[in-house]
């Protein structure tokens, strides 16, 4: 088991390096292959109607006129060790992980992303608990009560949840539960360390809205997995041996059906931690999703690169955790 985890950690580090190469190539290598020179690339960093002297200064400051491999080495060194930037007579040190300085605010990108992380993490983790518990529970009950009214009703609601987009359900929930019936009148983020009760109360509506989409998917997936698993020979053998029905369902049925659930949960959680854009926009929560939208609107390339790398990091780490959980849930993986 330890050897398996070490192998996956090494593969994760290698994959992060590959992602950094791809991200760097998208912003710096592909434009060169498309025919842009270093002067044209630098002109994209200085806004509209720049003077030639300004473009040349940015070109030298960012090292865009250097070979691509030298630029990537500087980019990688900045991520690991930090980077020094020359601004006229002064030199500014950007601590690691350094994604450069924002064109808009002229602040280091990493602290800006860190300030947005608590909102996204609070939103995603709370919703993930709801959709995982609710989806798996509903799916198991529907599979055990196949063809009943509960099964048909729950799968009908699940189909509606998968079909309705978040910006629709979010606006409806705001209209009903925030404006018409002010049960949750103030959907704003409050730090958990500042006021834990207010933090939870203000996020209940976004949690339910985001979880409603995913709980439907997980319920249908769990139901399909349980129906397939409960018809296997080893389930009949377990029942023939006189094991309690609860043990048969939980230890033998649900445990075997959890493998695809763990896979999709890791992917969903990792992707949303990189920014739940629709949910944050609908509820005006200033997390990584809103950070990404503003970076794209401002054409702030350092911020875009930073949030891209961060989202890739979350997805890769989520997949690492999923691989380790495979070995916990299914002993065959350890061999």
Token look-up 């006229």 returns 88
User: How does residue 334 score in pLDDT terms, banded at 50, 70 and 90?
Assistant: low
| Per-residue pLDDT reduced to its tens digit, 117-137 | 999 999 999 999 999 999 999
| Per-residue pLDDT reduced to its tens digit, 286-330 | 999 999 998 888 878 888 888 988 888 888 888 888 888 877 776
- Residue bearing the bigger pLDDT, 214 or 91: 214
**pTM for the model:** 0.84
| Per-residue pLDDT reduced to its tens digit, 248-265 | 888 888 887 888 888 888
With 60 as the cut, is the pLDDT of residue 105 above it?
yes
Phi, psi at 122, each rounded to 5°: -60, -45
Instruction: Tell me if 226 sits within 8 A of 257, measured CB to CB.
Output: yes
With 70 as the cut, is the pLDDT of residue 86 above it?
no
DSSP assignments along 227-288, one per residue: HHHTTSHHHHHHHHTT--HHHIIIIIIIHHHHHHHHHHHHHHHHHHHT--HHHHHHTT--SH
Beta-carbon-side half-sphere exposure of residue 21 (alpha carbons within 13 Å): 7
| pLDDT (average), residues 66-94 | 79
With 60 as the cut, is the pLDDT of residue 87 above it?
no
Report the SS3 class of residue 49: coil
DSSP assignments along 51-85, one per residue: -HHHHHHHHHHHTTTS-HHHHHHHHHHHHHH-EEE
Residues with Cβ within 8 Å of residue 211, at least 6 apart in sequence? 127, 128, 130, 131, 134
Instruction: Tell me if 291 sits within 8 A of 110, measured CB to CB.
Output: no
Work out the angle between the directed axes of helices 196-229 and 149-163 (0-180°, nearest 10): 120
Integer Cα distance of 82 and 54 in angstroms: 25
User: How does residue 47 score in pLDDT terms, banded at 50, 70 and 90?
Assistant: low
- Residue bearing the bigger pLDDT, 249 or 41: 249
What integer pLDDT is reported at residue 206 of this predicted model?
A: 92
Task: State yes or no: cis peptide before 97, omega within 30 of 0.
Answer: yes
What integer pLDDT is reported at residue 113 of this predicted model?
A: 92
CB count, 10 Å around CB of 91?
9
Token look-up 């390339």 returns 301
What integer pLDDT is reported at residue 129 of this predicted model?
A: 93
C-alpha dihedral sign at 93, 97, 98, 101: negative
What integer pLDDT is reported at residue 117 of this predicted model?
A: 92
Integer Cα distance of 50 and 196 in angstroms: 49
Calculate the alpha carbon distances from 244 to 100, 136, 138, 200, 284 in Å.
60, 21, 21, 38, 49
With 70 as the cut, is the pLDDT of residue 182 above it?
yes
């Amino acid at each position: 088991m330890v050897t398996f985890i070490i192998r996956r950690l090494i593969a994760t580090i290698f994959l992060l390096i590959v992602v950094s190469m791809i991200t760097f190539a998208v912003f710096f290598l592909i434009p060169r292959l498309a025919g842009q020179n270093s002067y044209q690339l630098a002109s994209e960093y200085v806004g509209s109607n720049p003077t030639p002297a300004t473009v040349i200064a940015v070109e030298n400051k960012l090292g865009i006129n250097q070979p691509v491999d030298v630029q990537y080495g500087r980019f990688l060194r900045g991520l690991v060790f930090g980077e020094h930037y020359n601004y006229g007579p002064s030199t500014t040190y950007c601590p690691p992980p350094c994604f450069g300085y924002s064109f808009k605010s002229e602040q280091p990108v990493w602290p800006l992303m860190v300030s947005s992380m608590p909102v996204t993490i609070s939103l995603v983790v709370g919703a993930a608990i709801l959709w995982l518990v609710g989806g798996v529970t509903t799916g198991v009950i529907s599979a055990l009560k196949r063809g009943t009214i509960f099964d048909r009703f729950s799968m009908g609601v699940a189909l509606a949840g998968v079909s309705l987009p978040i910006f629709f359900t979010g606006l409806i929930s705001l209209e009903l539960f925030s404006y018409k019936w002010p049960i949750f009148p103030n959907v704003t983020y409050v730090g958990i360390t500042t006021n834990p009760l207010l933090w939870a109360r203000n996020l209940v509506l976004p949690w339910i809205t985001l979880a409603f989409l995913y709980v439907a998917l997980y319920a249908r997936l769990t139901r399909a997995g349980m129906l397939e698993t409960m018809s296997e020979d080893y389930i009949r053998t377990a029942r023939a041996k006189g094991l309690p029905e609860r043990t048969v369902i939980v230890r033998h049925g649900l445990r075997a059906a959890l493998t695809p659930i763990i896979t999709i949960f890791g992917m969903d959680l990792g992707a949303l931690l990189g920014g739940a854009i629709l949910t944050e926009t609908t509820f005006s929560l200033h997390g990584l999703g809103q950070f990404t939208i503003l970076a794209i609107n401002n054409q702030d390339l350092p911020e875009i690169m930073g949030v891209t790398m961060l989202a890739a990091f979350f997805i890769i780490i989520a997949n690492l955790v999923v691989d380790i959980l495979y070995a916990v849930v299914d002993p065959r993986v350890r061999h």
